[in-house]
Structure 1
Amino acid sequence: MISLTVKEVASAVGAQEITDTWQKIKLDTVSFDTRKLVAGSLFVPLTGEKDGHDFIAQAIKNGAAASFWSRPIEEAPTDIPVIQVEDTLKALQDLAKYVLKKVNPKVVGITGSNGKTTTKDMTEAVLGTKYRVYKTQGNFNNHIGLPITILEMPKETEVLILEMGMNHAGEIKVLSDLAEPDIAIITMIGESHIEYLGSRAGIATAKMEIISGLKPEGVLIIPGEEPLLLERTDSLEKKQIKTFGTKTINDLYPLTLDSQMKETIFTTNLEPELMVTLPVLGTYNVTNALAALAAGLVLGISLKEAAPRLAGFQLTKNRTEWMAAINGSMLLNDSYNANPTAMKAVLTNFSELAHKGRKIVVLGDMLELGEHSQALHISIKETLSADKIDQVFLYGPEMEALHSALIKEFPKERLHYFTGEKEPMIQQLKQIIRPTDFILVKSSLGTDLLSVVRALQA
């Protein structure tokens, strides 16, 4: 966090005046987690399953120099300044908004059913060509994590990239209104959170909340082949909308495309002779790259300038990440997130990958699909061919529907279903994996196939 005095923080959140002796105390960082506090920290006691106010003594011990406070003032500590507010979360968000205006970077907001984090990483690489960039760290992409990201950005930040996640309607609006993006990117509309939003149309409406805080001259970057998004852009001028995708109707699209084990190479309509290399598998990652390149174009970065940066960008862990596995095999770990659209895309690319050895897929439940879950799990069948996939391992109660749908397609010695404890599946995998095998692991994070990945690592 940029250095702020206690007085400045109190003023930023509309709190009462602080005692004169404490007004000039400097605060250099902020946290709601007492374990992450250091000397000079502002402590934010949030109220959830636990009440952060109960940990104020530990916060002071760990270095808190001041604290927000929403309990009665007579319950507050007297050995550090407390900034009395009605709601500590709102105070955190108000402080983030103040710091955002003070640092005044360009803001890029990114949301979508899938590909948010990969697109964030790619956008950082592209914009880093010309600007000092800071991005959302880890999964700090909600109503708490986003203001923390803003507060943690260095004072030299010229472009701030904010990932915006959601589960329910209205959540992206809160984030967009706080961040007021100059550029808003929607990666895709899939089926994630359909349990809460009812349909893909409901998901599209929720994702389009990202334009709620879009600056008057801001730009929206969306997949141009998604009618559910295009029909929701009436509030914007045509010049404010840039599209990307695989078809020629888009402003930016690929002309050629070649996906290999550890890289994907493509050219675009804007620079037909320029080969852009991504250090990741998957034609679906090309659309993520196109969104990042479009953001670069908006901010004055040419494709020729951006391409070398994309070739070396660092992907956040657990997203289409190759790693050495047991018995000399190779494992493609994509176990952080899953929805039907994303799973089909990964399976299609994995199936088409040139390889002389066997291909094994380990698929876990896709969560938050509600009443659509059974049908959507069964729909994965269309990307599982017995001619291209040698072994299929399915895990979780929701995957039972897909298992039943595949029984006629795969011999029983090549189709395996597990639920409950993962150890039996891990042991069977260890018994059959050969040195030349490629293994794909894909599931929602809550299914915890990361534990399977760890067990199969070399």
Structure 2
Amino acid sequence: MPNWTLNEITQAVNGKAMNTESIKPVSGVSFDTRTLSQGDLFIPLTAERNGHDFIQTAIDKGASAALWSDPVENAPDDIPVIKVKDTLKAFQSFAKYYLHDVSPKVIGITGSNGKTTTKDMVAAVSSFKYKTHKTDGNFNNHLGLPKTILDMDRDTEVIVLEMGMSEKGEIDTLSKIARPDIAVITMIGESHIEYLGSRDGIAEAKLEIVEGMDQGTLIYPGEEQLLYTRINNGWVDRKVKTIKTFGKTEGVDLFSTEIQTAMKQTIFKTNQKPDVACTLPIPGEYNVQNALAAILAGEALGVSTEDSYAQLSSFKLTKNRLEWLDGINGSTLLNDAYNASPSSMRAVLNYFKGIDVAGRKIIVLGDILELGAGAEAIHRDLHKRIDAGSFDEVILYGDLMHHLYEAMSEKTNASKIHFFSGDKNTLVSYLEKNLRSNDTVLFKSSFSTGMLEVVTKLRQQENV
């Protein structure tokens, strides 16, 4: 557990300490009083609401100190406060200071899909040789990344940081806080195309991950022309010393040669170890690409391929990613409802189509968000990925999924396809009445659709 003095924090954020008569050690940080623990430094952020308004709650819950950017006369006098111009920037500066102080190897991971899975894989590989700290859940933005840094123990040797974005410039900010030694780009898809305009714009935004580097290692999918062209034209030369590529065919440094998929695992071989198989405890051929990136990251850390294989065989995936659950009425649920993009939707549908199950195979799909003007066409085109003969029922939820419903209704037996919108209880009621023993149900949608609520209600209660 980290511990800091008030003076140390004050210097790190270039602030001015006040009310220092009673000083207690700081053992953590929190910008949300709902999760604040005794001994935390409270960071009142100003966004939709002014976090300074919750200072008394922070004090009551045992905060040791607080940053402060509101007028000094409004500051409490019964807790030390550090006056700063901007609490968010001070928070990020504190994270930069602590990262430099601990000085672990830093691995940054970004991409349109697969960030969290790759983060979990890289952390597993790294932990074979080093004490490793990683992003918790999806804490990958301008708040989550500095929080992850400040949560690490002082004896951490490697930190694995997921970097998410929705707009240009966000990865640049995160990279300059983290200063990665190793940067991984998983793939370029259509996520956040609403804000970035095109896959070209997405590729440029993802390459911002090198901006905080100093002659580090970049790992990326070498078959992605949007990245390859820019990198080959010198975009990263001043920041990157070593480049490693992964993919599906010859021409990259590491590629898969054989892949076998099953209901709950994936087995593959590579060009580097053609006679040795790696077994992943998760399904989906697309996850092999994430594993290849993790193996290359392991190489950069000095972890052998054999040891990486061993670590990958038992790595733990973050909750709500391809999570098999026991459902009501003897059904089985495959929960992948935390996030969605067109590419991840297509990939999981392709996987689900290929598995063998004992009973009916049902898919429940919710809206894919942040697609901008192309949202209607993208949802409609998903019908090309849904072979009606491979699924017993297709259940769609959300305004955008109505476009897929219309496209499928033209060619699919009406009894196989169902559409819901608005109140999710109607969807839940339908599934509660119709799910039966040996049914296998895939749930996939963007997080904001609330599909996780549906999954929770359909789980066997003793397992929730």
Cα distance in 2, alignment partners of residues 343 and 166 from structure 1: 19
Secondary structure at the aligned position of 1:254 is classed as strand
TM-score by length of 2: 0.95
Counterpart residue number, 1:248: 250
Cα distance in 2, alignment partners of residues 424 and 112 from structure 1: 35
Which residues in structure 2 correspond to 1:392-411 (within 5 Å)? Answer: 392-411=394-413
Which residues in structure 2 correspond to 1:35-434 (within 5 Å)? Answer: 35-216=34-215, 218-233=216-231, 234-237=234-237, 240-434=242-436
Cα distance in 2, alignment partners of residues 42 and 431 from structure 1: 49
Q: How many Å apart are 1:387 and its aligned residue?
A: 1.8
Q: Deviations over 1:428-449 (max 9, x none)?
A: 2233323222111100011111
Q: Where do 5+ consecutive residues of structure 2 fail to align?
A: none
Q: How many Å apart are 1:63 and its aligned residue?
A: 1.1
Instruction: Supply the RMSD in Å over aligned alpha carbons.
Output: 1.5
Q: How many residues align?
A: 456
Q: How many Å apart are 1:17 and its aligned residue?
A: 5.7
Cα distance in 2, alignment partners of residues 113 and 433 from structure 1: 33
Conserved 8 A contact 2:19-2:79: no
Q: Deviations over 1:163-197 (max 9, x none)?
A: 11111111110000110000111111111111111
Cα distance in 1, alignment partners of residues 150 and 281 from structure 2: 31
Secondary structure at the aligned position of 1:140 is classed as coil
Conserved 8 A contact 2:17-2:80: no
Q: Deviations over 1:131-155 (max 9, x none)?
A: 1000011221111111111011011
Secondary structure at the aligned position of 1:35 is classed as coil
Conserved 8 A contact 2:137-2:319: no
Cα distance in 2, alignment partners of residues 213 and 43 from structure 1: 27
Counterpart residue number, 1:448: 450
Q: How many Å apart are 1:18 and its aligned residue?
A: 5.6
Secondary structure at the aligned position of 2:317 is classed as coil
Q: How many Å apart are 1:49 and its aligned residue?
A: 1.4
Cα distance in 1, alignment partners of residues 79 and 428 from structure 2: 52
In structure 2, relative to structure 1, the CA distance for the partners of 1:67 and 1:245 (3 Å cut) is same
In structure 2, relative to structure 1, the CA distance for the partners of 1:367 and 1:19 (3 Å cut) is closer
Cα distance in 2, alignment partners of residues 44 and 442 from structure 1: 35
Q: How many Å apart are 1:422 and its aligned residue?
A: 2.1
Conserved 8 A contact 1:208-1:232: no
Cα distance in 1, alignment partners of residues 106 and 255 from structure 2: 24
Cα distance in 1, alignment partners of residues 433 and 71 from structure 2: 62
Q: Which amino acid aligns with 1:73?
A: V
Cα distance in 1, alignment partners of residues 111 and 398 from structure 2: 25
Cα distance in 2, alignment partners of residues 235 and 370 from structure 1: 28
In structure 2, relative to structure 1, the CA distance for the partners of 1:67 and 1:457 (3 Å cut) is same
Q: Which amino acid aligns with 2:377?
A: A
Q: Which amino acid aligns with 1:113?
A: S
Q: Which amino acid aligns with 1:335?
A: A
Cα distance in 2, alignment partners of residues 17 and 382 from structure 1: 62
Cα distance in 2, alignment partners of residues 99 and 126 from structure 1: 24
Q: How many Å apart are 1:404 and its aligned residue?
A: 1.0
Q: Which amino acid aligns with 1:197?
A: L
Q: Deviations over 1:85-141 (max 9, x none)?
A: 000010000110000000000001111111111111111111111010000112211
Calculate percent identity across the aligned residue pairs: 52
TM-score by length of 1: 0.96
Secondary structure at the aligned position of 2:128 is classed as coil
Q: Which amino acid aligns with 1:323?
A: L
Q: Which amino acid aligns with 1:368?
A: E
Secondary structure at the aligned position of 2:2 is classed as coil
Cα distance in 1, alignment partners of residues 37 and 443 from structure 2: 38
Q: Which amino acid aligns with 1:135?
A: K
Cα distance in 2, alignment partners of residues 387 and 163 from structure 1: 38
Q: How many Å apart are 1:362 and its aligned residue?
A: 0.5
Secondary structure at the aligned position of 1:165 is classed as coil
In structure 2, relative to structure 1, the CA distance for the partners of 1:220 and 1:244 (3 Å cut) is same
Conserved 8 A contact 2:117-2:318: yes
Cα distance in 2, alignment partners of residues 73 and 410 from structure 1: 66
Conserved 8 A contact 2:320-2:337: yes
Q: How many Å apart are 1:72 and its aligned residue?
A: 1.8
Q: Which amino acid aligns with 2:210?
A: I
Q: Which amino acid aligns with 1:256?
A: E
Among 428, 436, 439, the alignment partner of 1:437 is 439
Q: Which 10-residue stretch deviates more, 425-434 or 252-261?
A: 425-434
Cα distance in 1, alignment partners of residues 203 and 224 from structure 2: 9
Q: Deviations over 1:228-270 (max 9, x none)?
A: 1112222334852111111222211111101100111111111
In structure 2, relative to structure 1, the CA distance for the partners of 1:259 and 1:157 (3 Å cut) is same
Q: Which 10-residue stretch deviates more, 65-74 or 126-135?
A: 65-74
Q: Deviations over 1:348-383 (max 9, x none)?
A: 010011234321110110001110001111121121
Conserved 8 A contact 2:18-2:83: no
